[in-house]
Structure 1
Amino acid sequence: MSSTAAPSRLTLRSFWHDLPREGKLLLSVVVFEFIGTGLVLPFNIVYLHEVRGFALSDAGLLLALPPLIGFLVVGPGGAAIDRWGARRILIGALSLQVAGNVVLAFASTPAIAAMALLLTGLAFGVSWPGFQAFIATVIPSELRQRYFGVNFTLLNLGIGIGGLVAGAFVRIDHLPTFQAIYLGDAASYLPAIFLMTVPLRHVAGRVEHHDETAAKVGYLEVLRRPAVASTIVVGFVSSYVGYSQLNAGMPAYARAVGEVSTRGLGFAFAANTLVIVLLQLVVLRRIEGRRRTRVIAVMAAIWAVSWLLLGATGTVSGTWAATMLVAASASVFAFGETLLQPTVPALVNDLAPDHLRGRYNAASSASFQLAQIIAPPIAGFLIGHHLDSVYIGTLVLGCVLLAVLAVVRLEPQLPAHVNGVREAELVADPDVVPEPTPKTRASALE
């Protein structure tokens, strides 16, 4: 589904008015679901190590299970989405999340914790491509970029609220407080399960395949398509210099090099969330109708500034200025996030044909997850061996590479509507890749 028609000018009221009923229902549970995520996200290592008493090395290995399992199952998960429909797969994934968190709440041994995290890892691997495919089924192309942006705002709002509630509630010396937040996380998935099984039971069922060849298209055939391969490479690089570093490299660098306190780190991540909540709608207005590849390039430049700010903490280690620089780095990074989150998911789903939507989203998800597996050990090695300048330099160079890949490599391969260009811009700019004819569109997608 695609359109070059411009939707109404973006305000929250106009966005809500333009959304189909199914989109409104999906957005209505986002904050609640991610409040649950926010309850436990800052405290997983604390719970396993300090509350349950597992060795720190064991806790680290346990927390590596979900992304690893997720990466292993994302390929079969994408094929399952295309075969049985996103809704059925999501019901299974959400149910696994509920079960995993309930088991984790009562995990008195590392083996039980491993079982719980195995369940959440299975869910993790299929839920991201499942939700992306589901959203693309119910949200028309011209609204997807807006939808993904608003969804990201609500997601961060929920995580922020959950983190604040859990921070005020949990006590290291009182196990039931930690059990309560994991049970709360389990309960946060129940509204989404209800939506999938009752109001939205008619949506995103099994995809109709018009011929057997289309139904059996594999990942290698998908990746041989130039625009897809380039999109996957852009996704991998953006994940490596982006979220993989925010979640692992930035805290490690801030602690080891900047000597920033844990409270200072909490302040930095709170600033990150606040920037996203405040700026996402403004950014959505500014990027509407612009080439998505150019938006990615601007994001790469912003992230390069973020990493330079982080690198500057080493010049004022152990001071209040170092804390402020880390907070500034996280805030600037958040500005880049507001450009990324509406853009890449919309690009992937505008590129994907309906019968391969699960595989396209799974391939995109795998590229992000692979970077998250690779990046933390590299960051740990460089920071642990006092190669601080090398670490920051590689991230800045990675951002430059990302911008070049987006504009020089990916942009010429994208049809105009996939790159976010509207009909008016097509007439004004002869360099935009033209829309394919029905014949060439069919040959590209089948």
Structure 2
Amino acid sequence: MLSIVVLEFLGTGLVLPFNVVYLHEVRGFALGDVGLLLGLPPLMGLLVVGPGGLAIDRVGARRIQLGVLSLLVVGNALLAFATTELVAGLALVLTGIAFGMSWPAWQSLVASVIPTHLRQRYFGVNFTLLNLGIGIGGVVGGLFVDVADLATFQAVYLVDAASYLPALLLLLGPLRHVAGRVVHEAGEATGQVSYLAVLRSPAMASLTVLSFVSSFVGYSQLNAGMPAFARQVGEVSTRGLGFAFAANTAVIVVLQLVVLQRIEGRRRTRVIAVMGVIWAFAWVALGFAGVIPGTLGATLLVAACASVFALGETLLQPTIPALVNDLAPDHLRGRFNAVSSAAFQGAAVIAPPTSGFLIGHALGSVYIGLLIVGCLVCGALAVARLEPQLSPEVNGVRVPDSEPAAH
């Protein structure tokens, strides 16, 4: 499972920093339209994540993931030749459907193989390899793409499409017996368990809100708002953006395993609170890049933003997936992961249009202020709201064998 991560996300890294650049500067779509287009994938993901979670619990995570990978191949290939907003929108709809089901399917697949006490470590190592792939792709993409040469952008999107083929082959071959249909115990009426019932769990409801806020001020902005601010306000070059994403990856690859050792046995909610403070400092650095546009200092500040943000990522990524899967019973794992995914997708729907509107209307300072406040809210939610609702064991605290775990 870990063997395909670098290859798959190398393709992602080739295009991730340049989606706004490709659609706005190369294809010539208005920045406001680009924000709406980039809001399509999370919107479609939000629409399909509910049925996707039910399907995972009924037919198995592996089969759903096979469909996901196929859609990603088609969607990215189509985006390479998108000459109109309509074609680009169709391509992004396909990738959005795929991403909407990918997270709960893959997390459920992982949880079916990796035991509870190793999940936090697995998610951390997976995230390290993921970012290694993205970082290599970002560096190569930054050196390769040229806004004056359409063919360079088409090439990277086609490579991104091809990067999902190894995972397809792996799931069709060596892993064909992994994460099939869930075996239910007699008397389990899983089909009658609604998403509303899942959200009636106080801890899961709080974790869902926390996931929404962290997505809005975090990854949704790193992928759309940060490049838009860097280009339009900070006047940073495409190579500078590639350098920033490479710095982001370098920090994760170097520090993730060290961070995993430091947070092992500590309360996951406190780790998330520290992440919120760190992300707030990252957005402060981005804001200062807009004060000195078009300079080397602006490029370095954008790179500093991406680097500091990466430190926060090393705290967040091992914790939230582990919390979700430690709260979820096996027969509802798809639905629990779908709820978490829906929270991230829902925030990602509104994040690109929000950043596009604020940046496009010269409200960059308002945009930065909104992100800083949101990051601090993340920490407050984690400690004041979620922590009292978790048992120490689920919250990552080592419980001695002689002591019964709280429920």
Q: Same fold (TM over 0.5)?
A: yes
The code of the aligned residue for 1:435 comes to A
Counterpart in 2 of 1:413? 389
- CA offset at residue 366 of structure 1? 1.0
2:29 & 2:60 partners in 1: Cα distance?
40
Q: Choose which of 244, 251, 276 in structure 2 pairs with 1:275.
A: 251
For residues 115-160 of structure 1, the C-alpha deviation after alignment (integer angstroms, 9 at most, x for no partner) is 3332222111101111011011111111111111111111111112
Aligned residue for 1:30? 5
Match 1:147 to one of 108, 122, 132: 122
1:392, 1:107 → 2: CA distance? 32
The DSSP-based 3-state class of the residue aligned with 1:77 is helix
| CA displacement at 1:296 relative to structure 2 | 0.4
Point out which structure has higher relative CO (alpha carbons under 8 A, 6+ apart). Answer: 2
- Residue 225 (1) aligns with residue 225 (2): no
Aligned pair in 2 of structure 1 residues 381, 155: CA closer, same or farther (>3 Å)? same
Unaligned runs of 5+ in 2: none
CA contact (8 A) 2:139 2:243 kept: no
Q: Displacement of 1:382 after TM fit?
A: 3.9
Q: State TM-score, norm by structure 1.
A: 0.83
Q: What is the alpha-carbon distance in structure 1 between the residues aligned to residue 200 and residue 257 of structure 2? A: 36
Normalised by the length of structure 2, the TM-score is: 0.90
8 A Cα contact 1:50 1:172, kept in partner = yes
Give 1:229 shift. 0.1
Q: 1:326 to 1:40 in 2, by over 3 A?
A: closer
Cα–Cα, structure 1 residues 343 and 349, in superposed 2: closer, same or farther, change >3 Å? Answer: same
Match of 1:295 in 2: 271
CA, structure 1 residues 226+376, in 2 after alignment: closer, same or farther (shift >3 Å)? same
After superposition, the Cα gap between the structure-2 partners of 1:387 and 1:59, relative to the gap in structure 1 and judged at 3 Å, is closer
Give the whole-Å Cα distance in 1 for the aligned partners of 2:289 and 2:76: 37
Q: 1:250 & 1:166 partners in 2: Cα distance?
A: 17
Match of 1:404?
A: 380
In the alignment, which residue of structure 2 is the partner of 1:64?
39
Pick one of 340, 365, 385 that aligns with 2:341.
Answer: 365
Cα deviation, residue 188, structure 1? 1.3
Separation in 2, partners of 1:155, 1:37: 9
Shift of 1:350: 0.8
Alignment match, 1:127: 102
- Which stretch shifts more, 136-145 or 417-426? 417-426
Q: Counterparts in 2 of 1:42-441, with a 5 A limit?
A: 42-48=17-23, 61-107=36-82, 110-171=85-146, 176-210=151-185, 211-424=187-400, 434-436=405-407
Structure 1 residues 16-38: Cα deviation after superposition (integer angstroms, max 9, x where no partner): xxxxxxxxxx0001001111212
CA contact (8 A) 2:44 2:93 kept: yes
Residues 85 and 173 (structure 1 numbering): CA distance in 2 closer, same or farther, change over 3 Å?
same
1:80-132 deviation line (CA, Å, top 9, x unaligned)? 11111101100111111122233334445554444333222211110111101
SS of aligned partner of 1:362: helix
Secondary structure at the counterpart of residue 176 of structure 2: coil
Give the AA of the match of 1:310: L
User: Which stretch of the first structure deviates more once superposed, 323-332 or 296-305?
Assistant: 323-332
Relative distance call for 1:426 and 1:324 in structure 2 (3 A) is farther
Distance, in Å, in 1 between the alignment partners of 2:180 and 2:371 is 41
SS at match of 1:423: coil
- Which deviates more, 383-392 or 182-191? 383-392
CA contact (8 A) 1:137 1:204 kept: yes
Structure 2 vs 1, CA of residues 292 and 41 (structure 1 numbering), >3 Å: closer, same or farther?
A: same
Q: Which amino acid aligns with 1:294?
A: R
- The amino acid that maps onto 1:90 is Q
State the SS of the aligned residue for 2:189: helix
Identity percentage over the alignment? 70
Note the C-alpha offset of 1:423: 1.9
1:285 deviates by 0.8
**Is the CA contact 2:213–2:374 (under 8 Å) kept in the aligned structure 1?**
yes
Question: Which residue type is aligned with residue 411 of structure 1?
Answer: E
Residue ranges of structure 1 left out of the alignment (5+ in a row): 1-25, 428-432, 437-446
CA distance in 2, matches of 1:167, 1:322: 17
In 2, distance between residues paired with 1:320 and 1:106? 34
Maintained 8 Å contact 1:416/1:426: no
Which structure is larger by alpha-carbon Rg, 1 or 2?
A: 1
CA 1:212/1:288 → structure 2, altered by over 3 Å: closer, same or farther? closer
Matches of 2:149 and 2:365, distance apart in 1: 42
Between the aligned partners of 1:305 and 1:52, the Cα distance in structure 2 is: 34
Partner of 1:430: none
Name whichever of 37-46 and 383-392 sits farther off.
383-392
Alpha carbons 2:283, 2:305 under 8 Å: kept: yes
Is the contact between residue 39 and residue 351 of structure 2 (CA under 8 Å) also seen in structure 1? no
Maintained 8 Å contact 2:142/2:243: no
> Is the contact made by 2:15 and 2:141 (CA closer than 8 Å) also made in structure 1?
yes
Measure the CA separation in 1 of the matches of 2:166 and 2:181: 22
